[in-house]
Every structure is written in structure tokens, then in C-alpha cells.
Structure 1
């Protein structure tokens, strides 16, 4: 809280750390327990620059469930055989979608279904009867992922560093940026069992990496000699486009007790999210659909990052000409968002437009997917905040019909929400963390295309409602 200088997105809260330089991130953890993660927030560097950030209960307190015998971080990643920065640069130059990855990974290893890493396949040793907690993190750059462990049920107990009412499932799905803690009991016959992850892909006719990454849950009592002679059992994963399984899974998330959901709304916002296209003429031929260049937007504004100073510095140093505060709170043009969208609405405007809010405002945001080019499940992440997910559905959001179904009692608390493919999600939070905060799609292909915006949350009254001064080692542009 009050330390946006430690948030990290380049040109939003800081300038990039230059080669050979350092920057120490200092921040306070308040009212959070569970699994988060750290990662680079510059171009595609986070393809390999990431790790788990685990917050344990305070001394003298405990988990709200029986303490597991052992815990393992399970970090799902994505791998390119080429330099990923060159993959991104080629896509931005050509206007086309970037090449898909060559593999997924678990704790840095693709697993032995690929021809390159059977010796390095990650193994998780367990004893029969133990209760294990898996801290699952989707650090993949561009892909939502299904995850399962063969023959073992998973009890979900926490997501995005917020506890949930426990529920049991054999499949979980995480969008990029999401974390999910699950409990697993080692109650099967001694042996080896694959844990596996593969894509949940929703954009129509869009290529994706259809490979499967694996690791091995290995019972210590199984004896290596016997186990190594047979391939572990592979879990049955859903079809790549199995939205029904995702919807049923996400519907089970609840806060463990009555939630402090804002009831009266000060800022009622409606953001469309999705693709767009930019005409290439005049100029060289582009490789997007129909000689266009891919773009993306919120409320038809494709977000442009500054490149000489961060938005946070520009705001607190009152530097003019870096951004404007006229981001539209609702779409400037209403249309059939998930239907046949007029070509006149396919090309967004470009700008560095922010939305300013007073400290303590109660905020509701409707996030609406659109069908320009294709509907798609978009994992939307808000920096600086957790938020309550009070409703989700398909088609166009209808306030008269859909608001009556909101869960205002025990909705889940998240920091990244997958907006359903061809649907909507509604979040609520109190703007009590001053600063400049980026909201963006956590599919990293979509971020440089402009699927982002930023909030300015003004200071409140007194020291505890005011942004701390910038650190002396803040990177310079």
C-alpha cells in the first residue's frame, strides 16, 4: 500500500532498469497470505524472468485448513526456441500475430513428452498418506492453461493470495498471472503419476501451442527400479476449447466468509476489451488479416505507453503533455459487442488516456469481451488492488437482467479475472491505494497491441492515505 514506485511496469510506475544497474523494490505486505509471483514487466522479458512469491501466515497463526505435510511451488511457463524478444519484434514489425511457443514448462522443465528433456523432468517426491499443497502459478506469457494430476483430486483453498471456501475438482484452469493453491492427498497406489498442463484456447481460427508439459508426482515407497521402467499415468485433460469445464470450475470460487463488497457505487465503469486492426495504407504490406496490423483496445482506445518518463513520475511531478485524463468511462459508441460488429468500429484510436478517481471511491467495472476478429477469454489484471468478482456471464452484459444475479455476499477476491470468451465479468473494489495503476490483459501479446489503460487514484487525507516519496535509486530514463 502507498508504494506504487515498487510496482514495476515500465513507463507506468518506473523507467526500465538499464543494463548493469540495480533497483531495490521495497514495499509492505498488508492483509495478504498465500501465493503471488514476481516477474519482469518490460516487453517479453518475463518469458524467463519470474518466480514464486510466497506469503506465509503470521507467527502464531495458521492456515484455515489442516497444515499440509509438504508444499511445492508449481510454476507453469512457456518456452520459445528462438530469442523471444526477436519473436515479439518481428510481430510488431509485420503487424501479424507472433509465432506461438514451442513448449510449456513446469518449474523450467518441459517434461518427458518432449524429445529434449526427459533427464530433467521435474519430480515431486511424496510419502503415502501425506497431504501436499501445490502452489500453482501460471507464468506463461500468452496462454491460459488447464492443470491436473493423474488419479488425484485437488482441493482448491486459495487463489491470488486470497483464501477461498474449499472445493474439490480434478481440473483447474489458470489464466496468465493467476495463482491457485490446491491440496492433494497421496492416497493412490505407490508409483509415479504425471501432473500435466496444456492450453485452454478460445480465439477462433487462431494458432496456439498444443503441446503438453508434464512433471512427475513420485511416491517414495514405489521404488525407483520398478517405477522407471514404465511411463507414469497421464491425466485426462479437457479439450482445448472446453469453455463449459472452465465455467463450471470458476463458478465454484467463493470467499470463505461474508465479504466486504462495496454496496453503493461511486464510479460505475463499463470497459469493452478486445481486438482491433489498423490499416497499413499507405506503407509496406502488413501481415495481419486483409493487409492490416493487429491492435487491441479498451473502450476503443489502444493504450500507448510513454517512452521518456513514467506516468507515475509525470503525475507527481506535474509534468504536462505525457498523458490525458479523458479515458472514456463507458464505450463512446454502444453496439452489439459479441455479435456482428460493424467494420467502422474495428480501428481503435491511439492515446495515453487515464481515468482519475478520488481516494476511497467505491468502484464497479463491467469488463465486456468483444467479437472484433474473434471473441476470446481475456485474463485482465489490475495492479495495486484485489477486487471482488461479483458476476460473470456470456453475451452482452444487461444491467437490468444481470445485476440482479450479482453475488454480493461471498464473491471471490482476485487480482486477475478471466473475462469469459464472448462474455463479461463485473468487479468491485474500493480505491484506497493511491498511485497510478495499470489495468491490462495478461496475455502479453495483447499488451503491446494496446489492451490496457491506467487509473490515477488521488491521495487521501494524511500520511496513511498518501503515496510515499520516490526512492533515491528509482531508475532514470
Structure 2
């Protein structure tokens, strides 16, 4: 149940949008292959939709959630019964609102256990704990959203980051309710990490403890042990923590990784406490802070991300497409649009925008999915380009200002069922070069390559990893660099692809894939539910 409720734990009272009165919202617990039903009742004051992030929803885009892509929003006072179909996902995912900026406070974890009779591909941990990293504004989030849309400038940065809903001891008024994880010496904890922040990739670490990543985006990985992780909005990671240090109190902490020059970001640090269940130390002692890379340490972020590898075992195999039917080379850019009388708050009086392949996506006023299913014309066009319209030095330090203006359009790309896609995201240095976490709905993909500079189609594919690339649904494209993914289009429906930095999504950094039906009934999209919200 979605409703507005007072929230008083951060020095003041303000209404926030919650689910079942909780912030973060309730955790969903399922087994691999389950199907669940979730009834969403909107008792708030704004339209709402919900997305089950990373859940492939085989043949069922009707419950995927993004407004005006797969459904029209649930209006205040209305409800919608969503059917959430799990398939091969195993590990940690999450759910969140997918309309305007409602996901700032409306999100929660999804824990997907192995099927009964099977187990983890690592020793069973003694404790499992979701760790949700979030972002907090003192102002009403809808005020922030409407204001920067009106001015054309950047949104106000957040006032705090949070760990499980609390910013921690380094902020005023939070010490009493700072999240605390109590562990016993010698035990192993599975941290189910989720970055639910709106606009920031985060570095996260625990003082004096290493972290071993064993899964990303509900797919297992080869163990990767590091002193810190870099986790982008939308990403999830399963991490093992071994409680093997001197009993005491230690900070876990997170702060932003922000690579863009002159790009505003929240430069505060959120903390929680790791405390050993041992009475032989001073429980009032000040915990030590962990080392975290500097806020613009691109090498630290890239080194971590590029080290991830799929488990690629007998029980958890990989099936990287070796042949490719479709190739796309897509630039992702921050852009500007002209503003009447140069009166907006973007560069030189312009309005900020963002694009994929120079198209700043315009959401329609009705659902793309319903338009596709019912053959309603004029809602979208099928001309999303395979390659950028202009070729230039995408990562040059100085760019021609004439390149900054994108095309405004609602363009989709149509794929045949079971066809294979290779897509290279090329980050550009237009306006501001930054990292971009790109998320694809309805499909997981293999991250086969990444690097810095302009992608070289003759040289870079020689270094693709086609043996054990990580399987993800969200991937970070590095600043002034590129990332290549591959996937098989075996899920019929309409599926959104977008940057998971919310300001970039609002500015238009998104597009949509339509995967056509296959020939037999098991490869065709399911019919719509009877209670689809109307526009």
C-alpha cells in the first residue's frame, strides 16, 4: 500500500511516500522460479507505478512498471494487481517506484533463495542482511523534481546518503537510530547490497574488513575480494563479510564517486556500525572509519567493476552469444536545448537534456506496450538508429557546441524473437563527461568488454571476454569510455533501457526495445490483465 506518512528521524517532520508505512519498504522473500502477486493500492497524492528491478518477467511486460512505457500510472485512489514472474534469477534484486522521482523513498529489497533442495555455490552464511544505500532530501522530493524541470538546470543535490534508511553518526540527529549490524566473531554474513540512490555511484567499505563479492544482479560470480566496492544506482551485489577482526565497533561507510567536472553531487558520507557481540571491549568507543577512494577516482571504480567475472560453473553456466544478428553502437550524452531568451539554468542559459544516439526520448501520454499490442498508430516510431548520426571524437576534451543539441523523439528498436544483440555504449564528453549506469528491463546481458576512449571496432573486440563475462541488468559505462554487452532477445514484449541516474532519465537518456513474438505459444507475449490502469 502506497501512502504518504510523516517522517521525523532526520531532525524535522515532512511527508514522504512509503510502502506499507516503511522506509525502506518491505523486503520480498521468494524462491527461484516463483510467481507472486502484488496488489498496489495508491493512497498517495500522486500517480505511481512499480518496477521489479532485474526480474525478467518472461512474456509478461504488463507488470514491469515504467510509466507510459509498459503501463499508464496508477492514479490516487486506484489499485493494480501486478504479477511478478521469477525465472532464472537467484540472489538479490530490488523493487522501486518508476514514476517521476517517487523512488527516492519508495523502494525495497527482493531476496531470491535457491530452489528447495539446492544451495548457494559457497558455504551457507550464518546471517543474511539487506544493506540498502539511499539518498535523502530535506525538501519534498516532488518539489525538487518539479523545480529543476521548470528551470532547466540541475536538480538540488541530496542532503544525505543513507544506509537502511539512516544517514549515520556524521549527520545531526541520526546517532540514536543509526543502523547497527551485530555479529559474532568467526561467523560469516551475507550482505545483500543494493544501491537505491537517485543520482550517485557509491564507494562502500567496512573498516578493517575485506568484502568478497559472490554475485551481482541475481547471478553468481567468481569470488572477488576487495577492501571496497563501487556500486551504481540500480546495481545489486551479494557480498560475504567474515567477522574475523578484533572484537569491537567498526564503521561501514559509503560516499559518492562522481567523475564529472563541474557536476554537482552530495559530498557527505553515510555510516552504519558493525559491532561484535562481545562484552570484553568498550562499547562506547568511537568506531574507526574505513578507507574509501577519493570522490573522482575513476580508476578505482573501473578497476573494481572490470574485475567481475561470472561463476561459469556446471550448475551456473554461461551462454554468451557467439554469433550476433544485430549490432548497435550507441552514444550516451549530456546535452542542452535552446531556451527562450536564454533564461534557463543550464550552460549559457540553455536547458539540460540527455540522449542515447543523439535522441532525447520523449515519453508519450499513453503506454507504448498497449499501443504496440492493440496496434495504435502515432504513439512511437520504429526508427531508433543503429549508429550515431554524426561521427566525431566523442571523448575529446573540447567539443563543438553545435553537437550538444539532440533530437526530441519517441523512437524504439524492434528485434526478432531469439535474435542476438551486441550493443556498445559510447560515453561522450559533450557538456559533461560522466559515468552512466545503463539498465535494461526484461533481459539480463553479458558484459563482454569495456575500456576508455573511443571504441575501436577493429581492435577492441579482440579483447572481449566470451568465456566468463558477468551477467548483469545494470552496467556502468565509464567516463569517456565504452562498454559492450550481448544478449539474446528471447523475452517477447516492450522493454525499457535507460540510465539509472535519475536526473539523466528525466532529461531523456533512454530508449525502448520491442521483442516480437516467437512462433509457438510459449514464445508469445501473455495477454494483458483486466485491471490495467487507464490513461
Q: TM-score range by the shorter chain?
A: over 0.9
Tell me the number of residue pairs that the alignment of Structure 1 and Structure 2 aligns: 473
Identify the match of residue 104 of structure 1 among 158, 161, 165.
Answer: 161
Identify the match of residue 226 of structure 1 among 273, 282, 298.
Answer: 282
1:156 aligns with 2:216: no
RMSD over equivalenced CA pairs, Å: 1.0
Counterpart of 1:385? 443
Counterparts of 2:451 and 2:373, CA distance in 1:
39
Counterpart of 1:315? 372
1:56 aligns with 2:113: yes
- How far did residue 284 of structure 1 move? 6.6
Q: Contact conserved, 2:362 with 2:410, CA < 8 A, in 1?
A: yes
**1:325-379 deviations in Å (ceiling 9; x for gaps):** 0111110111111113322211001010001110011000000000111110000
Counterpart of 1:440? 498
For 1:140-289, what aligned pairs fall within 5 Å after superposition? 140-222=197-279, 226-227=282-283, 229-257=284-312, 259-281=318-340, 283=341, 285-289=343-347
Counterparts of 2:68 and 2:470, CA distance in 1:
31
For 1:385-404, what aligned pairs fall within 5 Å after superposition? 385-404=443-462
**1:140-165 deviations in Å (ceiling 9; x for gaps):** 01100000011111110000000000
Counterpart of 1:354? 412
Q: Contact conserved, 1:366 with 1:424, CA < 8 A, in 2?
A: yes
Counterparts of 2:387 and 2:160, CA distance in 1:
39
- How far did residue 440 of structure 1 move? 0.3
Counterpart of 1:296? 354
Q: Secondary structure at the match of 2:260?
A: coil
Counterparts of 1:359 and 1:124, CA distance in 2:
46
Counterparts of 2:368 and 2:111, CA distance in 1:
29
Q: Secondary structure at the match of 1:329?
A: coil
Q: Contact conserved, 2:128 with 2:191, CA < 8 A, in 1?
A: yes
1:35 aligns with 2:92: yes
Counterparts of 2:222 and 2:342, CA distance in 1:
55
User: Is there any run of 5+ residues in structure 1 with no aligned partner, and where?
Assistant: none
1:408 aligns with 2:480: no
- How far did residue 410 of structure 1 move? 0.7
- How far did residue 245 of structure 1 move? 1.1
Q: Contact conserved, 2:342 with 2:350, CA < 8 A, in 1?
A: no
Q: Contact conserved, 1:138 with 1:177, CA < 8 A, in 2?
A: yes
- How far did residue 226 of structure 1 move? 2.1
Q: Secondary structure at the match of 1:217?
A: strand
Q: Secondary structure at the match of 1:226?
A: coil
Q: Contact conserved, 1:276 with 1:297, CA < 8 A, in 2?
A: yes
Q: Secondary structure at the match of 2:84?
A: coil
Q: Contact conserved, 1:150 with 1:235, CA < 8 A, in 2?
A: yes
Q: Secondary structure at the match of 2:275?
A: strand
Q: Secondary structure at the match of 1:445?
A: helix
- Shift >6 Å, 4+ stretches: none
Q: Secondary structure at the match of 1:427?
A: strand
Counterpart of 1:16? 73
Counterpart of 2:135? 78
Counterparts of 2:352 and 2:93, CA distance in 1:
31
Q: Contact conserved, 1:5 with 1:13, CA < 8 A, in 2?
A: yes
Q: Contact conserved, 1:335 with 1:341, CA < 8 A, in 2?
A: no
Q: Contact conserved, 2:310 with 2:468, CA < 8 A, in 1?
A: yes
User: Is there any run of 5+ residues in structure 2 with no aligned partner, and where?
Assistant: 1-57
Q: Secondary structure at the match of 1:400?
A: coil
Q: Secondary structure at the match of 1:245?
A: helix
Counterparts of 2:355 and 2:302, CA distance in 1:
25
Q: Secondary structure at the match of 1:119?
A: helix
Counterpart of 1:423? 481
- How far did residue 251 of structure 1 move? 2.1
Say which structure, 1 or 2, has more relative contact order (CA 8 Å, 6+ apart). Answer: 1
Counterparts of 1:212 and 1:193, CA distance in 2:
15
